Structure 1
């Protein structure tokens, strides 16, 4: 468990988080603002993701994904590193989502600060990337508050619903 503040903390995901994931991820806003979360979100999607999380934890000998939890322990979001560049890379991609009732309270800004520092310190990363869709400026604000810089628009960078989509690439680098 890693305390974020007096109202939320992050911890490893568990099998019991599958129902919370189904509850919160059946939200079209989350679907529209993320690349890898399907809609509608089903229990098998949650179980597949939790299996992936266990594999990544084993491979890296530490968590790469965390549940964001409120003070009662309920999962209200998720944050983590995709490890798309591989275990030994100097960079990684950061992703996150937060349940609708908890948005707009600064929670994700505080979570991204803690997890970014984890990436630099525990994974030895030198560069964090966070591609966001242009229609999601709130995510850009979260990143900017944490020292990420919009490096530019990457055209046709991802495919969503079989259509090429642009992203704005945000990055934060560790300084010597």
Structure 2
């Protein structure tokens, strides 16, 4: 039986499945150097790369290792970013969280609204105990975003990933289910 993709609604947003018809939208922001600066991939150069990304979103959902939502504004069809889980480890009740947003929507609270909804979904619907975010040290806006959502910086993992021809250090951030339930991080 095929799993039904979960749709999340917030005050201003609909978080939905990203489909092939969204390739132009995905390409628009994933080809932007500013958006891709800390993404771990070069800016996309073709619509085919956007189609491959959409294929990856579908495969992680199908295999149960993650779920990636397209961020849309209510009343608009265009996907302006994505947010979701990857590298889920069911036996340890943890997953990584990732996100990106089209530059024209930065600074409007949209990423914060989407991230908060996805975190809530992870704890309540996926039964996660731990959500972690891996963020490059120079990516200050993403660090501030996860910190606003209660994440704790646990430490620096040196040369943790090799992307775009270089080794990247990454900060490990985490949010534990009890932190949200008790409000101990806010």
**Given the two structures, how large is their TM-score scaled by the length of structure 1?**
0.89
Aligned to 2:29: 24
> Where in structure 2 are the equivalents of 1:93-112 lying within 5 Å?
93-112=96-115
Show CA shifts across 1:26-45 (max 9, x none): 1112221112x432342122
In 2, are the aligned partners of 1:131 and 1:169 still within 8 Å (CA)?
A: yes
Q: Does 1:73 align with 2:77?
A: yes
1:58 deviation in Å? Answer: 2.5
Aligned residues: 172
Q: Contact 2:44–2:50 (CA<8 Å) still a contact in 1?
A: no
**Residue 29 of structure 2 is aligned to residue 44 of structure 1:** no
TM superposition shift of 1:114: 0.7
**TM-score w.r.t. structure 2 length?**
0.85
Unaligned runs of 5+ in 2: 1-6, 182-186
Q: Deviations over 1:89-139 (max 9, x none)?
A: 411110000001100111111111110111112211111110111111111
1:154 Cα offset (Å): 1.1
Q: Please, which runs of 5 or more residues in structure 1 have no aligned partner?
A: none
Report 1:1-176 matches (<5 A). 1-6=7-12, 8-35=13-40, 37-60=41-64, 64-71=67-74, 72-82=76-86, 84-175=87-178
- Taking only aligned residues, the RMSD between alpha carbons, in angstroms, comes to 1.9
| Deviation, structure 1 residue 60 | 3.1
SS in 1 for 2:80: strand
